Structure 1
């Protein structure tokens, strides 16, 4: 597909970079950009050559959230049209959250509104020192509804109570403190920080990484029960007898590199 609002590249290691590319409007997203992002994520998820995904942005800011013209158009539409529109944004967040390979968000400049949701949906988030964040919805009479499950999972109910209702802008250091991002990089060193994670994860079994992500989604926030215990025992048994599980164990015991390292 043609990319109008994004740039997509895949290097020889299988690292895909999806770059938001509307710098003239601070990478604000509208229905067209959301639709493109949904399709790109689907294509990359189904591409066997992709080992992991980097989410980045061109320009001074990661994303200003919802495009003002898009919001203006939605104000003129009825409830059903607004719900259908919100469902598209929900599909985007869900698809990024459930992306089957590792995802790393690189946040430069500002990440406002829905952009905070994109950050929360990624497995790893790295922000520049000068980056700033804001859940600004209540300032214009709205709420961060669609992104709330992902943001609350990242920062917890207590911090959500504060930032959902104050709409205050907070720093990269605060984002690190409350759990929205994992690491703060010196300005200009986002990619260098990401490379440390990328190099490490390329040593790991692609199948095991996917299974580990699925395990987290299936187990997190569930009460420990017989069903949960059964799921975990089945999951480890399945990965042990899988092709990469067998290869990884054999390589470890034989003190040789596993076969998947030859895919780099």
Structure 2
């Protein structure tokens, strides 16, 4: 079954722009970059690597990292979600149906187990779940919820970044009165949407949306100090250097903790 026509009909140019604006409102990356203490530009791990989003006048948004295309890709993979969901539902209804034992109930009883088994993949959270811990498939979920979002935006559309942040907060807290909620509350939509935004920001499958600057795709990983990338390799010399810097920092911290406080420091405390 092809889901492409449904995806193309759903992700109109205007909705794509709205989703990028909502992602920015929910995850204000530039404010985070500006406020946090860690600066990858001063980390030897990233020496010489470009960080154009830290150039004066530049900013970092989810859209820059390639979120829009990544999100579309998630929807294109939805057939896997649907097949998995159908299988989990079948297995949950009869967890031992595929057992090779003729009398699996007796086998379990003899070993002190309960006669009836339960299928725990959903409680274990090893499948795609909404914020209510119900198994879902992305495309049906977003078909149900993005229409509600579009309806709300048709009634009242934010005009600036503060407005999109306020909208994200209303969706998170179920305080947007206009939300139809025919299938899901606004908060359930928002938690799943932000989970997919973070999936893009923290992964390595997306492609930068800023021409000529592929580093935007992994900008959030860089800002977190995470240097792992697909296909890269560390030399023994790099590993030794990292260990040496780690030991130096530990010794520095231990020395600071063991240094007696001065009279001035005691008085200040």
The TM-score range, normalised by the shorter chain, is under 0.3
What is the TM-score with the length of structure 2 in the denominator?
0.23
Structure with higher Rg: it is 2
Higher RCO structure (Cα 8 Å, ≥6 apart): 2
**Greater helix share, structure number:** 2
**Greater strand share, structure number:** 1
